[in-house]
Chain A
Amino acid sequence: MADHLLEVRNLSVEFHTAAGVVHAVRDISYYLDRGETLAILGESGSGKSVSSSAIMNLIDMPPGRISSGQILLDGIDLMTMSPQARREVNGRRIAMIFQDPLSHLNPVYTVGWQIREALTTHGSSTAEAASEALRLLRRVGIPDPEPSMGKYPHEFSGGQRQRVMIAMALALRPDLLIADEPTTALDVTVQAEVLALLKELQRETGMAVLIITHDLGVVSEIADRVVVMEKGELVEAGTVREVYKNPRHPYTRKLIAAAPGKGEMHQPDAAGAPVLSVGDVRKSYGGFEALKGVSFDLMAGETMAIVGESGSGKSTLARVLLRLDEPDAGSALWKGRDLFQLSPADLYKLRRDLQMVFQDPTQSLNPRMTVFQLVSEAWVIHPGIVPKAKWRERVAELLIQVGLQPDHMPRYPHQFSGGQRQRIAIARALALEPQLIICDEAVSALDVSVQAQVIALLDKLRREMGIAFIFIAHDLPVVRDFADHVMVMQKGKVVEQGTVREIFGSPRQEYTRALLAAGLDPDPDVQAANRAARLARAS
């Protein structure tokens, strides 16, 4: 049975926690051959990362325990090996890259040192390691590889850091590379480059790649086969095309259906007076110009999406509009009054009109307050909206409105899932009956299926209550489903703005086209065509 490079057989892993035994993965089996790419697809809590941690012996025991199963590498069970032999496998035969390269690289050593260590740990001489590390850095496309060897992780961009991780992982030409959400923290264009690099290196070395992801687009771009996991169980396996075209398990169908970017695009009314009119906003931090003159109009009850990659200034714009940061210049007319000129007292009153929903509800909800306290707190700060006797009734209404239950009121945020927490944050924003809600990456931290539900909720609020949204996002398919107007930003400037149909249908600017082209389509056929088109354009 030594046919496969890697075979995971009937693996079960459990964690013994204070709350009881958690069965992280239950009796899962999959295999992987040389030169092949297998994706493990799943949402948070599905256990998709657990089996790879077991392969790498990275599970802390206790609290973890491998209760059954085998992990065969070329037919030899890793779990019966001596600790020394097991350690030799790591790095030499199997290597791994992770989601967030900044925290996974040691901040106090140079990248050259860290790559050399991968080699010297497994017996290379110092001189060999030095020249090989340089070759690797050059191979993964780090600019100025020689001086870069002496630089520290914080001196590189996110994409470059992931390239460094890849160089380090591939130092000893492993037979298997495990990539755990390798591009999730990266911008779309950078994601496309990193995935392309992985594919190239795979062709060069013939290694197998095990990629763990929540993103159907990544699966369709890079994988040959896919296994789908839900709540610790493996529910479906097959080639990427099979699984996408003929999903058998209801969960897989749900995942595919939830993938954003397929619905009918909005068609905003042409007429209407702007409720918010932003003119030439500028903001610098030290010598860095974060916003270089941004202008746009937002109509009542419409959604303006602001898209752009990291460093484009989109979050700064949100902070400045709410005057969480003071702008250097420009104006923002809200129903005729300039938000930037308001006195603190006037601004305070106006806050109830303008609310914000943040990216990470785990951090933006005070963990020591109940849902009732979180939602009703706004009425303590802005008295006169709801009489105190009616607070419970109104909180219950709001919770129902965002798809929660009135009996959730006495609970604390940690008792909810990520999607439910974001609903609480939305209910809190709604408590003040705002006319504009600014969502800063409000759905990016959520699982795909949950993302779709939250977007549907926001759209319902827009339609029923006439709330206008400024929707800041890096994820274009989500924007496509939700926005009326889209503004594309790059390096503090507006590159292009128009209706959602204009931007997605006929983008005028090269940058917008590049952004759209870098996006990954969950349909493997569409993605293959996109890739071919991109290569044709590049050559």
Chain B
Amino acid sequence: MLSFIRKRAIASLISLVGLIVMVFFLSRLTGDPAALFLPVEASAEMKEQFREIHGLNDPLMVQFGRYVGDILTGDLGQSLRKARPALDVVLEAFVWTLWLAVITMTLVTVAAIVVGSLAAFRSGGFFDRFSSMVSLIGASVPDFWLAIVAIVVFSIQLAWLPTSGTGSIHHWILPISVLFVRPFGIIVQVVRGSMISALSSAYVKTARAKGVKSGPIIFIHALRNAMLPVITVIGDQAASLLNGAVIIETIFGFPGVGKLMIDSILQRDFNVVLAAILVTAVAIFLMNLLIDLTYALLDPRIRH
């Protein structure tokens, strides 16, 4: 088990290092960083000064060494707009996104597993058809549309919930509800399909021959086997939330990393953009590691 964790961790680490290298060279390969970082109307002197300050006249490898050194010491430069370390700005926003993602995905996972499993248990029945229809709609509805409709109905017409911003628990309800819909629709479908094949498997037949009740057959015998493909999809969906649900965060004025990235790009605050890329990348790598571990916990054949 330990060697499995070590192997997966090393594999993830290699990808992470690759990403760090790529971020550096992309910002250099796409042309003069001074042109990239400064506004179009910046003068030649301003660009030269910018190069001087940021050591852009040094050989590429020297710059790269400095960049790696900075990353290792946690120094990702200053935010030009906020005059604070870029990393602090990003981490602050990331915590909001992380909470949003964790709460949403927890709700989605629990709901999708229960609904999908029950639909599979009586496949073709009323509940199955009903949940298939709901999940299909959920998986297909564009989230920006849903967000706007939700604001119109619940905030403006009914005035139950605030339209945007943060502050109270009420501010979380609309973003979470809107973000819930699509992953729920997708994961219900995967759980249902996976459970149908698990429930028709030979080991479920054995459990029935042992006299095991329906509840344990669904949620103990079949579900754990059916979860393996589901975990992958949960990971995909969680990753897209961790990247910052750009549109939803913008619509609801939610101070997460997605909104921060958009704002920083518009404001040409590139240190913040780069820091945001690195932070979300690290988060996604950690999450993939978590998914691999979950795999191994669920299926002993992967551990060995």
Contact = CB atoms under 8 A, between A and B. Distances in A.
Interface of A: 56-58, 87-92, 95-96, 98, 100, 103-110, 117-118, 121-122, 152, 154-155, 165, 168-169
A168 B211 CA distance: 12
Contacts of B299: 107-108
A57 B205 contact: no
Interface residues of B, number: 21
A168 B205 contact: no
B208 A103 contact: no
Contact of B202 (A90, A103, A155): A103
Given A105-B203, A106-B206, A110-B300, 17 more contacts: A56-B209, A58-B205, A58-B209, A92-B211, A103-B201, A104-B203, A104-B206, A105-B206, A106-B203, A106-B207, A106-B225, A108-B225, A108-B300, A121-B211, A122-B211, A168-B210, A169-B209
B221 interface: yes
7 contacts: A90-B211, A98-B206, A103-B201, A104-B202, A107-B225, A118-B210, A168-B206
Nearest to A119: B210
Interface hub of B206, B224, B301 (most chain A Cβ within 10 A): B206
B301 A154 contact: yes
B298 interface: yes
Contacts of A105: 203, 206
Given A103-B203, A107-B203, A108-B224, A91 B300 contact: no
Contacts of A56: 208-209
B106 to A, nearest CB: 23
Nearest to B224: A108
B300 A58 contact: no
B210 A91 contact: yes
A301 B201 CA distance: 45
B212 interface: yes
B213 interface: yes
A89 B208 CA distance: 11
Interface hub of B205, B209, B298, B300 (most chain A Cβ within 10 A): B209
B301 A90 contact: no
Given A121-B213, A152-B300, A57 B208 contact: yes
A110 B201 CA distance: 18
Of A91, A106, A154, A165, most B-chain CB atoms within 10 Å: A106
A143 B153 CA distance: 67
A91 B202 contact: no
A105 B210 CA distance: 12
Given A107-B299, A108-B225, A87 B213 contact: yes
Nearest to A90: B211
Interface in B164-222: 201-203, 205-213, 216, 221
> Which of B207, B211, B298 gathers most chain A CB within 10 Å?
B211
B210 A90 contact: yes
B300 A98 contact: no
Nearest to B207: A106
A87 B206 contact: no
Given A107-B299, A154-B301, A98 B208 contact: no
A92 to B, nearest CB: 6
A89 B211 contact: yes
Contacts of A98: 202, 205-206
Contact of A87 (B211, B221, B301): B211
B211 A88 contact: yes
A111 B175 CA distance: 45
B221 to A, nearest CB: 6
Closest 4 pairs (CB-CB, A-B): A91-B211, A90-B211, A103-B202, A106-B203
B185 to A, nearest CB: 27
A91 B209 contact: yes
A117 B207 CA distance: 9
A152 B302 CA distance: 12
